[in-house]
Amino acid sequence: MMIKYIPVIAMSMLSLSAMAVQKDITVVADVDPTLELLQPDGSALPSTLRLSYVPGSGLQKQSVQTKIFSNDASRDLQVRLAVEPQLVSVTNTSAEPIPLSVAYGGKELNVTPITIKASDVFTDASATSTTNMPLEIKPSKASVITTAGSYQGVVSIVLTQAAKAVAPPSK
């Protein structure tokens, strides 16, 4: 009877010596149940955008197509920058910062909100996303950069919906 268990015991000993690899992936999500700024296919905006530098011309503009997804297409949108963006050298602290210009849907952004009329970007009241709108990032002024190095900066866009209109009390 013990002979029947020998193959089972041998197999379990082999599995104890086998190596295993475990991979852990951290998954994150920023959730606003009413409003989101994404690429037209619903994927997240890139977390890194590289501006190309052409010697003699300077940094080149980058553009990403976006859509605003919302569960209320009747409310106007407000878009602004959290801070004025700039690129700073991470390799040479004496290099001058490079101010950036950001436009959304063809409108220049700064720290003061601009209003985007819901009727201009949502195709109808039942729409859950806007038409495609470009997000463009470029240097504020075209110029040749004389200090070599790696430059980085953050563009923080704040998107909100206007409050719902409150009906006046009836008399």
Taking residues 111-138, what's their average pLDDT? 92
- pTM attached to this predicted model: 0.77
* pLDDT beyond 70 at 64: yes
Does some domain include residue 2? no
Structure tokens belonging to residue 12:
């379990």
Cα pseudo-dihedral 24, 25, 31, 36, rounded to 10: -170
CB environment 137-166: b (16+ within 10 A), e (fewer): bbbeeeeebeeeeebebebebebebbeeee
State the chain's mean pLDDT as an integer: 88
CA 41 – CA 151 distance, rounded (Å): 30
Count how many domains the chain has.
1
Q: Out of 11-15, 89-93, 140-144, which region has the weakest mean confidence (pLDDT)? A: 11-15
pLDDT value, residue 28: 85
| Domain membership of residue 141 as a residue range | 32-161
Taking residues 71-89, what's their average pLDDT? 94
Does some domain include residue 8? no
Does some domain include residue 3? no
